[in-house]
Structure 1
């Protein structure tokens, strides 16, 4: 074992240069990469064949949505699943729900639970890993399935026509930056109050003022959601409909036959024990709301359940690492899309479990499965609805090879009825709590 730092010497550098020069076709490869870019040279042209947009099982859906420059994919994916059900039931193909509505309430709820966490951890230094995690990005707009489900369960939903996008929701960077500053300063003040011996009444008053200020910032930036609204629309047969005086909760309960409690987040994280329930309380966003839980299962179980759900005409929310082996403009997700190892003559292989353990795996995006191509009952490729607008993929839809799903899909939200009785029984386990910085976070 080397017990000291290794300084690069002139001899070391000469050896590196010699190794570079002796690589086969090094000059040709250098010119190709420098003039065309790494991905363009490493890309496999046969990927277009493997990801042809033909699927034997397909849920009919309309046009795609567009999250613009925001991290709201988790909200878009749930509202997309819901709107597909609405479109089928009421004959309104391109109906869209308001993501801004849920985004507004997430900002308020996330601030509220952040204040609790600052008070609870006030005795710990800011260098503590958990406190550091809470302070790292308190104004963020990314999230999990259970976070969006918690918001819908508490606040309902509204049509996009009732609460449309704003300049701020289309590009959330500035609001997130302001809220990061605001919440970190609030966290500092709450910690100081606790450590200075403030009473519960003093803490409650400070929290109330802080939350009112967060509401003001968010309301100015996004708009304040309506308490009631009139639902007016024409269906695809041009029939006129009007339903007046609905609250968002009444609208959800009346028009959506979707019991959020029937759904479970099945994960495939092979760095962890399978057939085990896990929780991630550090990312819950609603006090008293739906908690983030994962049931860790083999990938074949996830795929089997997803196929059953698609065959029954219901789309599937899934969490993935969209930046890996993907081409945005073409809408291709193929685990053999780029051959970086062949291009550079280096070994880049890591197992899925190893990628989790060494922070190469990341749940960076959420999308929706809307179809699958089965040959001899085995999945070959999957149809994916993204929320990046119609200019990417085939009018916004991506094609994903089954191999990409195996490697880079980590979460699938399925109705628990598609699990076996033994697997459903696992949901009653006491979950193992994951650290805030776990790869599934």
Structure 2
């Protein structure tokens, strides 16, 4: 490299000296430095007015049970989905607050994801190991995350059970080490299948090997999570203190008998304002799923006002809304506040952050990271100004575990809602039936909550 090029592209001592002089010439820089170094950026940037504005009162609120706690696991999408079902069960059957087993759903999700991954390995046997597709598949074959349609697949196939029937275990609540071990095993299986294919083994024989691999995987899951029940007795007292016993139920029978909601009537609606995803079209993501042969992930992309009005319509009818968002952005986790004004980073750091929602998606600055449930909204003159959020991080954070979201935060960091198709206009309902555009596996809308 020439000296001329190095001078033009590298960091020189004169450049550093210039920046240091500019920093020292402004007394406010030293004050900011001392404050941030001692207290942390969030303490310095906290906007007191935003804390006051984000009060936990709402014009519309839905009665719910106590907030659940996913602990050190990434099962938010599962907790959120089960929270919507338990709300329906409690309302329909006059039940006291209770929980459905998240461990039961986790077991079957892991087992189905293992099979789904190995099938994708078989699909891509002729790809080079270092191809982008194969490397994508190997990157995270078995994390805790998921999507609404993946949740529906599990409920369709395996039903649900009360939490006491399959309670939490150490590794359901702290899943990192379990996931590491299970992922190691799946990558090993992928290596065996690919190497066997390269030495001439037929795909039919490889599928026989796959079944043996799944048998071993099932056994490992039992060690970590316990054995999933096939029959159980549902014993409970209702809100009137009347005792009930419903004996010898299967998980599927329990769901059919006690839940009135048809999950197939609910659709995923997104707001992804990037140029490659025009509004009023449907999308799916290649290799995004859990149950082989199950329902595909299908999104209907709409503008932000339509997006918001759909959520508002369902809440106004007394029904909670499952949603996906980028929870880590502009969040006061202790106070339970999601608001674009809660931290004034621009003022504290004397810089500007000017990316649009579309640019944040395009440049990797934001994507869906967490699923929760809307259980209320505050409406002024026909428009929402804050939203009540049921989280799954326990009751110690926020207000007894509930968060409050500003409408501006909704605009910027909300990506997905699940609503009954009856709330769609006739035009959107027709669009939903169209063949979806298939997005690459690494598209930001392929992220898992």
Alignment TM class, shorter chain as reference: over 0.9
Provide the residue aligned with 1:166 in structure 2. 169
Confirm or deny that 1:252 pairs with 2:255.
Answer: yes
Matched, 1:419 2:424: yes
Deviation for aligned residue 1:100: 0.7
Match of 1:192 in 2: 195
Q: Deviations over 1:259-300 (max 9, x none)?
A: 121111100000121101000131111011111111000111
- Once residues 15 and 70 of structure 1 are traced to their aligned partners in structure 2, the CA distance between those partners, rounded to angstroms, is 47
What residue number does 1:397 align with?
Answer: 402
Match of 1:128 in 2: 131
**SS of equivalent residue, structure 1 residue 319:** strand
Distance of 1:357 and 1:312 partners within structure 2: 35
User: 2:435 is matched with which residue?
Assistant: 430
Q: 1:180 aligned to 2:183?
A: yes
Counterparts of residues 36-435 of structure 1 (less than 5 Å): 36-271=39-274, 272-435=277-440
> SS where residue 440 of structure 1 aligns?
helix
In 2, the alpha carbon distance for the partners of 1:200 and 1:192 equals: 12
Gaps of 5+ in 1: none
Contact 1:154–1:289 (8 Å) recurs in 2:
no
1:397–1:417 CA distance, 2 compared to 1 (3 A) = same
In the TM superposition, residue 3 of structure 1 has moved relative to its aligned partner by: 8.2
C-alpha distance after superposition, 1:374-395 (max 9, x if no partner): 0001101000000000000000
SS at match of 1:123: coil
Per mean C-alpha deviation after superposition, the further-off stretch among 196-205 and 11-20 is 196-205
1:386-427 per-residue CA deviation (whole Å, 9 max, x = no partner) reads 000000000000011001111111000011111100000011
User: How far apart in 1 are the matches of 2:279 and 2:413?
Assistant: 17
CA distance in 2, matches of 1:22, 1:424: 61
8 Å Cα contact 2:42/2:343 also seen in 1: yes
Tell me the distance in 1 between the aligned counterparts of 2:22 and 2:413.
33
Does structure 2 retain, via aligned residues, the 8 Å contact 1:146–1:292? yes
Shift of 1:151: 0.4
Contact 2:96-2:237 within 8 A present in 1 as well: no
* Runs (5+) with no aligned partner, structure 2: none
TM-score of the two chains, using structure 1 as the length reference: 0.98
Q: How many residues align?
A: 440
Distance 2:286 2:14 in 1: 52
Asked if the contact 1:318–1:368 (Cα under 8 Å) also holds between the matched residues in 2, the reply is: yes
Deviation at 1:19, TM superposition (A): 2.4
Q: Is the 1:133–1:436 contact (alpha carbons within 8 Å) kept by the matching residues of 2?
A: yes
Partners of 1:315 and 1:368 within 8 A in 2? yes
